[in-house]
Chain A
Amino acid sequence: MELSRRRLLLGAASSLALLAAGCGSSDDSGDDTKAASTTVSDADVEAALQAGGSITVWAWEPTLTKVVADFQTKYPKVKVNLIKNGSGNDQYTALANAIKAGTGVPDLAQIEYFALPQFALGKSVADLNTFGAKSLDGTFTPGPWSSVHSGDKIYGLPMDSGPMALFYNKEVFDKYGIQVPTTWEEYAAAAEKLHTANPKSWITSDSGDAGFTTSMIWQAGGRPYKVDGTDVTINFDDDGTKKWTGLWQGMIDKKLLAPIPGWSDAWYKGLGDGTIATLVIGAWMPPNLESGVKAASGKWRVAPMPQWASGEKVTSENGGSSLAVTEASQSKTLAYGFMKYATVGDGAQSRTDQGAFPATTAQLNAEAFKSKEFPYLGGQKANEVLAEAANQVATGWSYLPFQVYANSVYNDSVGKAYTGGSTLQDGLKAWQDTSTKYGQEQGFTVK
């Protein structure tokens, strides 16, 4: 969970996965000849688990360690090698390189939702329809479930999700008499009130973050990316995008955003001492606060994400990852067996208990989950708010098939809006141009 989002900021990637498709895959091992052509039933998967074998998993999600141990107790003949090969982009690079080299490819890899289309397009990850993954319809919440789809194909199983919510420092709000904002208008007003009352305190920090921006545009109704196979449309000139840039540009102009880069030491410190009063971020945040911002224990609370019109109930996803079976895997059936255990079986419950934010409806709607009190959040039953947010995620969003690259150069163009050399809307246009150019160079039809 920790790190769930850090890689969004790092920007580096693996479109390579795409080219690798050709060289990486071969289905010539025992259980895979079958997997490639026919549908593998649940019974086949169970049989493979009983027969045993060995699989390698690349993931940085910490809750998987216990899942692997439990899994191996349940299926003693299966050996799972859990390897942390860096997180986010570091791992994608390693994965892409392994796929290109054709050796050392893991059977399963953790891949974030925004990066999955890239691996899917290059057929680096296997279509799970072979295993009847379609029957899992309804098992997962709509946001993550649509994120692992590409057309009819299913390229991964959701591991966690990040519906957005408003995390706020209640102590700061109380001190300056600020009401919890329910709309963005109120949020901007609160930002001004707070910063006027204490110039060393800001409503939030932002110095340009592609993951945050796209999630905000998503909620505002913007759909800048349209992807149909290799036909891609990029357009940041739509109303949803403008809604967000209008709000945020105003906050930048009035210097209402702390110029503290996310996930830096200063950021953690600022979250702890009241310098940064709120965070609009994915539901996976609480464990990060607990471990990274110990100083503020008991001060933070969770509220629904502010809305564009009062009374609305719309959220978007921010971060979150899936597990995917690589096309190069020699033990796909076994890999699928573990993956299912970790994402919908006992593993899903175990990971939820360990603090992960579930993508499965069963865990999300469980009474014990909803009524869990978070001591860090002053005893608040935060999951009530977060689970509701998960059910309100707006549909129809898609990421670019080269989103990882696009995110990595985000600050080159949009960053200028934060240092005073440009505006968000112009910055996004420049980002659109860079992404378009890259897409065209890579053989996509980009409009």
Chain B
Amino acid sequence: MTRRSWIGWQFVAPFLTVFALVFLAPIAYSLYLSLYRTKLIGGTSFVGLENYSKAVEDPQFWSAVGRVSLFLVVQVPIMLLLALLIALAIDSGRLYGSSFFRISIFLPYAVPAVVATLMWGFMYGSQFGLIRYLNDWLGTTLPDPLAPNLVLAAIGNITTWEFVGYNMIILFAALRIVDPSLYEAAAIDGAGQFRIIRAIKLPALRGPLLITTMFSIIGSFQLFTEPVVLKTIAPNAILTYFTPNYYAWQLSVGGQQFNYSATVAVVMGLLTMLVAYLVQARAVRKAV
């Protein structure tokens, strides 16, 4: 009986088709593009890995990578810590109107990033925005959040506002599935709230925290919408190589350098995978 049954393949075929079409094909095409170079004068030629060696030595690319890395190590811990504290506070059951609190923290996540950035952009305005009104009212000269040295922090504030609620919901959901009998047992043993958090809740959150960290790493490396929207009101603080994604976009849309843009995208994809893998490997080793 060597006849092979294709029934299984038929069942997964719809998925595989879509997967190949929207996932594998674009990656393959990017890889293909990255091996060529097209000039305005001279046309297209095969250049092997030249685009990659160019990327490795490209100061603009690395400055973008450096910027999102800094963003990652500062913004992500702050955001996750906030999300954790809020999730624990809501889960403690000692909060009045906790469901209102939960919804209102989560709500910014439902606001599209473009709208959120426009809104914050208005508040950041030192000519006509909230900052100006604060200055007029308090008689102060607050630093301009859209100045080159502060704009990354300003973006961090926007993304924190946007995503705290999302991460909080993931953590909160994990807390809800903890067996209440554990809390009863702990209470009978005389454990206080903080002891319960340390011994029961935090261990229960290990998995969800890893997931939220992963999402946040990927999100940081893909930072794009906020800087693009802020560019119109902070043209000199947001450079065209502000983040790797912005840079890849500028290369293809501004410079029509599709090949190099694809290269930057591939390198960035690999970097993201590497960092995500390292974080996960470390977390798993700790858990064991």
Contact = CB atoms under 8 A, between A and B. Distances in A.
Interface string B220-243: 000000000000111111011100
Nearest to B235: A411
Interface string B189-233: 000000000000000000000000000000000000000000011
B233 A261 contact: yes
Contacts of B95: none
Contact of A408 (B42, B43, B232, B254): B254
A374 interface: no
Interface string A236-265: 000000000000000000000011110111
B284 to A, nearest CB: 42
B235 A19 contact: no
Contact of A121 (B40, B232, B241, B256): B40
A266 B255 contact: no
Nearest to A20: B256
Given A208-B235, A269-B128, A443 B42 contact: yes
Given A265-B128, A409-B240, A443-B39, A415 B254 contact: no
B152 to A, nearest CB: 14
B40 A261 contact: no
A291 to B, nearest CB: 19
Interface string B36-71: 001111111000000000000000000000000000
A15 B235 contact: no
Contacts of B237: 419
Nearest to A407: B254
Contacts of B122: 265
A266 B41 contact: no
Contacts of A444: 40-41
A405 B255 contact: yes
Contacts of A122: 40
A22 interface: yes
A412 interface: yes
Contact of B147 (A22, A416, A419): A419
Nearest to A205: B127
Contacts of B125: 266
> Contact residue range for chain B?
20 to 34
Contact of B256 (A9, A16, A418, A419): A16
A162 to B, nearest CB: 21
Contact of A415 (B39, B127, B129, B236): B236
B41 A13 contact: no
A13 B254 contact: yes
A411 B127 contact: no
A364 B234 CA distance: 38
B255 A438 contact: yes
A421 interface: yes
13 contacts: A11-B254, A12-B253, A13-B254, A15-B255, A18-B40, A89-B253, A96-B256, A261-B232, A265-B128, A266-B127, A411-B240, A412-B240, A441-B39
Interface of B: 38-44, 122, 125, 127-129, 147-148, 232-237, 239-241, 250, 253-258
Interface of A: 9, 11-16, 18-19, 22, 89, 93, 96, 121-122, 207-208, 230, 258-261, 263-266, 269-270, 275, 401-402, 404-405, 408-409, 411-412, 415-416, 418-419, 421, 438, 441-444
Given A411-B239, A441-B39, A443-B41, 6 more contacts: A12-B250, A264-B233, A266-B128, A401-B40, A409-B250, A412-B241
